[in-house]
Structure 1
Amino acid sequence: TVEQWTGIYVSVGVAPTKVLSKVANRLSKKNKKETNCVMVLDSEEKIKEALLNTAVTEIWGVGYRYAVKLKEMFSINNAWQLSRMSTEWARKNLGGIAGVRLIKELNGESCVEMKDPLKTKKMIATTRMFGIPVYDIDPLKEAISTYTSRAAEKLRRQYSAAAFISIFVVTNEQKSGYYAYSPQTSSTYIRLPKPTAYTNELIKYAVPLLDKIYTPGLKYLKAGVILSGLVPDTSIQGNLFLSDMKNNARRIMDTIDNINFSQRDDVLKFAASGTKRNWKMRQEMRSPRYTTRWNELCKVH
């Protein structure tokens, strides 16, 4: 089990639909001793009891604003009361077809399919806000190189290669007034000579694109890289006139990915990505990563 091998407790919820499974999972987590972290809703009585014990604010698919609306305008306080509403009412007051599906799911009619999280993507993007406003082109090039590296990792993870690469930057053209916010987006792209998944190749084409859209003096708030025109990397032919080392660059990329995945924090990176990265997102409110970082382990005194 997960607990036996990792020491991490998990909770399991089983029910006829995805929404009801979410309800069961939450209740099993909430009442660990009574449920032993496992809850199965296999009868109408159990489903009704679970819905009565689930506040409307805790239903998967109901946001904060809708929860307030349901409470104040319709006196709906729990999932059981919501399940008694008609699909016509849901279509009008609960976001259209999404609300209809929610009502049906609460009543045991499956409407939300279980999707494979590893489904091959048709486009891969990496984008972040900067931790501080950026004005010079050099930090922007570091950011574009870093985001290209991240996107390339995702690309190789699904065994694909990209035929197009595009970059964009978001600026605030209000040069005066730090709190004035008027975002403008500039973007450009290039079609690669041949599809590739190699980080060095993608960086070589991505960074020069920045010269086309960079304007000195503007305040840059965000940047991003998008890889598109994805094809299976097995469809790419080797070059008869290149050395075996260059034709087998995928092995080098796999080695870099494996080291970075096991050691974290980009132990191996390309020089174009920079070393200090003062522009990085601050992430001051991020929760400690107790299970994946030694230096963030919880201390017991």
Structure 2
Amino acid sequence: MSVNTAVDPALPIFALADCNSFYASCERVFRPDLASTPIVVLSNNDGCVIARSYDAKPFVKMGAPYFQIKDTLRRHGIVAFSSNYALYGQLSERVMTIIESMVCDSEIYSIDEIFCTLTGMPGDLTEFGRKIRAKVLKHTGIPVGVGIAHTKTLAKLANHTAKRLQSQTGGVVDLCDPFKRDWVLRNTAVEEVWGIGRRMSAHMQALGIRTAMDLATADPVLLGRKFSVVLEKTIRELAGTSCLALEDAAPSKQEICCSRMFGVRLETIEPIKEAVATYVQRASEKLRAQHSLCKKIRVSIRTGMFNPDEARYANGVLVELPYPTNDVRLITKAATQAVERLFRPGFRYSKAEVLLMDLRQPGEFTDDLFAHTQPAAADKVMNVLDEINNRWGRGTLRAAAVPAAPAWAMRRELMSQSYTTRLDQLWTVNAN
């Protein structure tokens, strides 16, 4: 069975460019000697696998604890890296800038994905997709796959097919052709469809919906009533009706969280305060970046929860700030005082979390006429703080409670150099 086989030239056309094994590809950019070597990237504190190159996937499962797979990595010649988020962020920005320069409109969907509109673009769209791949690879060293279709959901599916069958597709798949679209729908499992997770996939299987084509030809209204309007839109998009437009800008976050495991267990209060102050600094940077103010914060600390030989403790406290603010000094003071309320001696703490809550734009808080507001002087100080750190690097100027090189910092024993953000770690080329 085919869905909407007639091709309307007025239909919108979307493209999704997605970097292949992005974290692993970033590590290979400055290590050409690893071009044919399997790579995995580890989570904070070198805990578990969060990214794998294609040639590492047959041997390592996503989420596998690093300490359990060291022998497997050694046996198969797989190289492990600690996560280097500064490097990944820099390369992501370069990739997105290149692609944005080639299209009229775009939406950055994640650190390694960008939707573009190709509506009205003349010429062979598959060839244009190859030009995107070639330009990004030439200027960044990052390989990308490109999926093209009349809806964002189909473009996502086309991109998945482009990478799954890269040797046949060359990394570009155009599903504007109804024949190609139907072939992909018939040969794609329903769990591979964008937005169909493991739980929803189980429901679909129970209804006899096993492929993307089964879902595309299902009744969208009936399944929408049974599950959600999101599923209804997914079905319509698979059938060729565009329901999701490009977003001009990502909506402001309603909550901002900064949470990290410590590199070592902490038994005294002072280093925990330092950690919380450090997390407040990062969270407040994000808060000011979206031009928001915060009225409440939640601070929590806990011990390790999986060692039967260690005493367990976890607790959190909600703190109301005196007025809506993005002043890191005020938030830090409130957060470190909260740690004093939470800390209990005799435990070995492994993690802290700072959650900024009740976020709104300036002018959206409706307090009474005599309520305190953030002083204008604080706005000026925060602007200077951000300008200095944006120019000279994060942490150049920071609160006194934030140490430069804390002993409790998360472990990154396998981290690559900061090739793009530190002058003393620039890439060097051997003339020999």
Q: TM-score, normalised by structure 2?
A: 0.53
Aligned residues: 286
**Partner in structure 1 of residue 317 of structure 2:** 187
Q: Supply the AA of the counterpart residue of 2:343.
A: Y
Residue aligned with 2:159, SS:
helix
Change (3 A) 1:57 1:140: same
CA deviation profile, 1:67-104 (whole Å, cap 9, x unmatched) = 6887799593x433443455589679xx9325554433
Deviation at 1:33, TM superposition (A): 7.0
Q: d(CA) in 2 for partners of 1:226 and 1:233?
A: 19
* RMSD (Å) for aligned C-alpha atoms: 4.3
**Partner in structure 2 of residue 208 of structure 1:** 337
CA deviation profile, 1:162-217 (whole Å, cap 9, x unmatched) = 23333222346999614x7x66332131322x333232232123212211121111
Q: 2:236 aligns with which of 81, 90, 104?
A: 104
CA deviation profile, 1:43-84 (whole Å, cap 9, x unmatched) = 4222112223434453323345666887799593x4334434
The correspondence of residues 83-232 of structure 1 with structure 2, limited to 5 A, is 83-86=216-219, 96-97=227-228, 99-111=231-243, 114-115=246-247, 118-171=250-303, 177-178=309-310, 184-192=314-322, 194-232=323-361
Q: d(CA) in 2 for partners of 1:37 and 1:190?
A: 51
Change (3 A) 1:298 1:45: farther
1:15 and 2:149 correspond: yes
Structure 2: stretches of 5+ with no match in the other structure: 1-97, 100-135, 365-372
1:58 and 2:192 correspond: yes
Q: d(CA) in 2 for partners of 1:108 and 1:293?
A: 44
Change (3 A) 1:281 1:237: closer
Q: Supply the AA of the counterpart residue of 2:216.
A: S
| % same residue | 30
Q: TM-score, normalised by structure 1?
A: 0.72
Q: d(CA) in 2 for partners of 1:298 and 1:107?
A: 51
Structure 1: stretches of 5+ with no match in the other structure: none
Change (3 A) 1:39 1:175: closer
Q: Supply the AA of the counterpart residue of 1:80.
A: M
Q: d(CA) in 2 for partners of 1:74 and 1:296?
A: 55
Residue aligned with 1:11, SS:
strand
Q: Supply the AA of the counterpart residue of 1:96.
A: F
